[in-house]
């Protein structure tokens, strides 16, 4: 219990958290969705025991990359009725939206920037309602997290030299940039190449030809925002392994439909092929009964953690090699308005989809010659484009990370990639496992790299559940202290 009385102040560059304090401090690195919802839950659960929550991010709190206030009105790809950040209040976001526009329904697709406003407002409400706990927002980039020795508090060091001292640290780092494309070394540092579409959202120029590598949700966003900037006067080629765009979301009416979780678990214990066959069978039954296959796909992720861990390791590898693209296409759907705009561009021949794989790039003056192989063919094709945008999705293997903080944690043995290279190794409570497979007390992770254990860890409903569970775990010592009458 002594750890709860350690000082939590900033010790350099004047962050000014004070000297030694008799309250506990939890630092959250990253203030996007995961970090903000984490802070909200800590403040809500803190009760009357002293607690300081320090929320650190280089951008605005509650915005992150996904919900930034950008010129193009990016839409959420999930309807408002499924976007509450609070599992106890499933319609919290809808209620908030209706204060602005009374006509909002649960099936509307609102803008991401508006969702960021909702998170900001919810965080402020939790901060003001907390009886004793306080929230400190710190703007900056974290480059190092570590301890001086066993049992000592964590030092959270910012790139500008400031430090935050905390009893516990939660890493809420969001999605990393995509992995490098084959042969993209020839393009690095060139204005012809956008290696991270969210690092600097790109604006297409009128008259140019653009290659977008990938065909998922990010591709849809990049194409629509880029074409909007070019006033529709650009040509886009999209190359992905299967050349398929995600289908559109539809209103789901099978709210009371259920899937046989036991049958899914039995199939998963046998093979990925049998599990997929069962899911297809359930989807077919939904269609035959007047429903829609999306109803089943929406229900399956609730069982994803148990299914993922039940699959033998060889079957998980097989899934990633052969079925991942199909799962992503059917799991992560587009807003209907986005689908209509993409269809319009395709009909006008301004967006062309290709199935195949990239072989390499060559600079030709101010342009790029792209070598690629169409799916199912031996011949090599080429495209001459003005720009290439890497939209292949986040590279969630921490061992390949370019983030200085992640690299330092891996080098120190405090963070390790899982066996499949799709996330980080954690305990059931989210504590990071070190290089020896031991939990690092007080150091936690929340975000999409939890997919190593849970598979589905990107949607709001999934991330809010992880945040709520971790918050309960972190405040438990404080609550136990209050019950025991300590202090």
CA distance 137 to 127: 11
DSSP class of residue 200? S
Q: Which of 54, 285, 4, 296 lies closest to 169 in space, CA to CA?
A: 54
CATH of 2-74+111-176+396-484 among 2.30.29.30, 3.40.640.10, 3.50.50.60, 3.40.50.12780: 3.50.50.60
Q: Can you give the pLDDT at residue 4? A: 32
Q: How far is CA 182 from the centre of its chain?
A: 24
CB atoms within 10 A of CB 217: 20
What lies within 8 Å, CB to CB, of 252 at 6+ separation is 292, 294, 295, 298
pLDDT number for residue 59: 80
Numbered ranges of CATH 3.50.50.60 in the chain: 2-74+111-176+396-484, 184-247+334-390
Instruction: List the pLDDT tens digit at each of the 487 positions of the chain.
Output: 333 333 333 333 434 444 445 678 999 999 999 999 999 999 999 988 889 999 999 887 667 777 887 878 999 999 999 999 999 999 999 999 999 999 999 999 999 999 999 999 999 999 999 999 999 999 999 999 998 787 889 999 999 999 999 999 999 998 899 999 999 999 998 999 999 998 766 679 999 999 999 999 999 999 999 999 999 999 999 999 999 999 998 877 655 578 888 999 999 888 888 998 999 999 999 888 888 888 888 888 888 888 998 999 999 999 999 888 888 888 889 999 999 999 999 999 999 999 999 999 999 999 999 999 999 999 999 999 999 999 999 998 888 898 999 999 999 999 999 999 999 999 989 999 999 999 999 999 999 999 988 888 888 999 999 999 999 999 976 544 443 333 3
* Angle between the N-to-C axes of helices 112-129 and 92-100, in degrees from 0 to 180, rounded to the nearest 10: 110
Distance CA 57, CA 28 (A): 9
Both tokens of residue 88?
A: 């106890």
Residue 394, helix vs strand vs coil: strand
- The pLDDT of residue 372 is 97
CATH architecture of 184-247+334-390: 3-Layer(bba) Sandwich (3.50)
Across the beta sheet with 10-12, the strand order is: 10-12, 163-166, 154-158, 142-147
3-state secondary structure of 35: helix
Give me the helices (H) in 202-271, please.
217-229, 261-270
Q: Minimal CA–CA distance to 211: which of 394, 391, 389, 392?
A: 389
Torsion of Cα atoms, 433 then 436 then 442 then 446, to 10°:
-10
281 membership: H or E segment, kind and range: helix 272-288
Mapped onto helix, strand or coil, the DSSP state of residue 261 is helix
CA atoms of 369 and 193, how far apart (whole Å): 12
Instruction: Report the distance separating Cα 363 and Cα 342, nearest Å.
Output: 29
SS3 track for 303-370: HHHHHHHHCCHHHHHHHHHHHHHHHHHHHCCECHHHHHHHHHHHHCCCEEEEEEEEEEEEEECCEEEE
């Amino acid at each position: 219990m002594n750890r709860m009385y350690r000082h939590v102040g900033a010790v350099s560059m004047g962050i000014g958290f004070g000297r030694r304090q008799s309250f506990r401090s939890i630092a959250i690195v990253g203030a996007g969705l995961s970090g903000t919802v984490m802070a909200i839950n800590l403040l809500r659960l803190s009760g009357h025991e002293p607690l300081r929550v320090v929320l650190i991010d280089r951008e605005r709190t509650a915005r992150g990359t996904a919900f930034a206030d950008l010129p193009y009105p990016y839409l959420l790809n999930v309807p408002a009725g499924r976007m509450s950040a609070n599992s106890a209040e499933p319609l919290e976001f809808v209620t908030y939206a209706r204060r602005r526009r009374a006509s909002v329904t649960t099936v509307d697709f609102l803008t991401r920037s508006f969702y960021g406003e909702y998170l900001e407002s919810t965080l402020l409400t939790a901060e003001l309602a907390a009886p004793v706990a306080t929230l400190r927002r710190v703007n900056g980039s974290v480059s190092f997290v570590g301890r001086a020795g066993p049992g000592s508090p964590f030092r959270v060091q910012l790139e500008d030299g400031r430090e935050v001292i905390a009893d516990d640290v939660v890493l809420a780092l969001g999605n990393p940039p995509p992995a490098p494309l084959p042969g993209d070394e020839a393009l690095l540092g060139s204005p012809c190449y956008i290696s991270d579409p969210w690092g600097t959202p790109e604006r297409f120029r009128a008259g140019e030809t653009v290659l977008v590598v990938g065909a998922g949700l990010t591709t849809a966003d990049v194409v629509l925002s880029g074409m909007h900037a070019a006033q529709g006067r650009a040509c886009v080629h999209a190359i992905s392994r299967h050349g398929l765009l995600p289908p559109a979301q539809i209103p789901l009416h099978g709210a009371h439909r259920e899937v046989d979780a036991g049958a899914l678990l039995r199939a998963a214990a046998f093979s990925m092929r049998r599990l997929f066959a069962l899911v297809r069978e359930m989807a077919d039954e939904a269609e035959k009964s007047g429903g829609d296959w999306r109803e089943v796909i929406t229900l399956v992720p609730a069982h994803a953690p148990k299914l993922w861990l039940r699959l033998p390791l060889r079957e998980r590898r097989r899934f990633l090699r052969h079925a991942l693209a199909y799962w992503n296409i059917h799991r992560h759907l587009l807003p209907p308005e986005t689908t209509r705009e993409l269809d319009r561009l395709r009909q006008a021949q301004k967006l062309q989809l290709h199935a195949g794989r990239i072989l390499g790039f060559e600079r030709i003056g101010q342009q790029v010659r792209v070598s690629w192989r169409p799916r199912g063919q031996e011949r090599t094709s080429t495209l001459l484009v003005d720009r290439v945008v890497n939209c292949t999705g986040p590279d969630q293997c921490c061992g390949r990370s370019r983030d200085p903080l992640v690299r330092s944690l891996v080098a120190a043995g405090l963070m390790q990639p899982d066996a499949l290279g799709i996330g980080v190794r954690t305990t059931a409570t989210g504590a990071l496992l070190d290089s020896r497979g031991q939990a690092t007390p007080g150091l936690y992770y929340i975000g999409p790299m939890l997919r190593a254990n849970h598979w589905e860890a990107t949607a709001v409903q999934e991330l809010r559940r992880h945040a709520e569970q971790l918050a309960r775990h972190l405040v438990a010592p404080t609550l136990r202290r209050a019950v025991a009458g300590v202090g």
